[in-house]
Amino acid sequence: MASATLSTPIGKAAKSRTGKGGWVWALPPVAALAVVFLYPLFLVVQQSLRPDTGGTSLKPYADVFASSAFREALGTTVWLAVGSTVGCLVLGFVLALVIAFVPFPAGKAVARFIDVFLSFPSFLITLALLFVYGQVGMANGLWADVTGASTGPFQFLTTPWGVLLAEITYFTPFVMRPLLAAFSQVDTAQLEVASSLGARPARIVRQVILPEALPALAAGGSLVLVMCLNEFGIVLFTGAKGVATLPMLVYSKAILESDYPGACVVAVVNVLISVGLYGLYRVVSSRART
C-alpha cells in the first residue's frame, strides 16, 4: 500500500515533466521540417499565384489548365504511372513468389540483391537498358551483324513503351521487398496441409498466399504509383522526346521557357495528386484493418 501511495505522485510528476518538456524536443524537428520543406513549398505555391504581369491572381492556373500541353502531360503521367504500377505488382508478385517458395540455388543471394537494387539511381537502370536496346545498343548491333541491315528493329526505347519498360524494371523491387517480408511470415504448415488435401498450386496461391500478401501489395503498389507520378530521370535519360509528363513539363517551363509561374502551377498539381493518392491509400488501408 505504501509503495502504491509513493508511486502515484512520482508517476504524476514524471508525466508532468514529460508533458511540459515534450514540446522542447519536438520543436527542432518541426523547425527543420518547416525550413527544409514547408517554406520552399510555400514559395512554390506563392509563385504559382503571381503572373508575370504582376499582382496576385489565378491567371497562371487558368493558362496552364487551358493548354493542350498540360492535358497531354497529365494524361501521359497518369497512364504511365498506372501501367507501371500494374506491371510492377504482377511481376513483383510472381518473382517474390518464386524467391520465397521455390527452392533454387542462390535464392538468398537474389533476395539480398533486391535490397541492394533499391539503392540504385533510376538513371543507372535506364542507361543499362540503353546499352541493350538503344539505337546503337547490343541488340540492334547483333541484328545488324547477322542481317547486314543498317539499323536494328529495337526502336521502342524512346517511345512511351520504353519508358514503361524502364519504370517497371526499376520499380519492381519496391514491390518485391514488402512481399518477401510478408511471405516470410506465412506459416508453411498451412501450405503443406493444403497440398496434402489435394489443392493445386494455383489454388494455394489464390486462397492461402494471396490474402496474406494483399497488405504488402497495397503498400508496395501505392509507393510505386506515387514514385512513378513524380519520376523525372527515367523519362529524361531514355531520350523519349515525345513523352511529356508533369515533371518533364515543370522542367520545360522553368528551364527552357522561363515560365516560372506556369512551372509552379504544374508542380502544385503534381504535389496535390501525390498527396491525394497517399491520403486515399491511408483511408483504404485503415478501413481494411478495421
Condensed to tens digits (0 to 9), the pLDDT of residues 214-254 reads: 888 888 888 899 999 998 888 888 877 778 899 999 988 98
CA distance 131 to 139: 9
pTM, whole model, 2 decimals?
0.79
Q: Give Cβ neighbours of residue 16 (< 8 Å, ≥ 6 apart).
A: none
- In terms of phi and psi (left: phi > 0; alpha: psi -120 to 50; beta: otherwise), the region of 198 is left
Average pLDDT (136-156) is: 79
% of the chain beyond a pLDDT of 70: 90
Interacting residues of 64 by C-beta distance below 8 A, sequence separation 6+ = 70, 262, 265, 266, 269
Residue from 235, 238, 241, 245 nearest 273 by CA: 245
d(CA 38, CA 281): 22
Mean pLDDT for 120-133 is 84
**pLDDT for 5-27, tens place per residue?**
444 554 454 444 455 566 778 78
DSSP class of residue 53 equals T
Distance CA 129, CA 234 (A): 11
Q: How far apart are CA 233 and CA 250, in angstroms?
A: 13
> Residue 135: phi, psi to the nearest 5?
-60, -35
CA 266 to chain centre: 19
Helices 160-183/68-101 angle, 10° precision: 40
pLDDT in tens, 56-107: 888 889 989 999 999 999 999 999 999 999 999 999 999 999 888 887 777 7
Task: Say whether 98 sits in a helix, a strand or coil.
Answer: helix
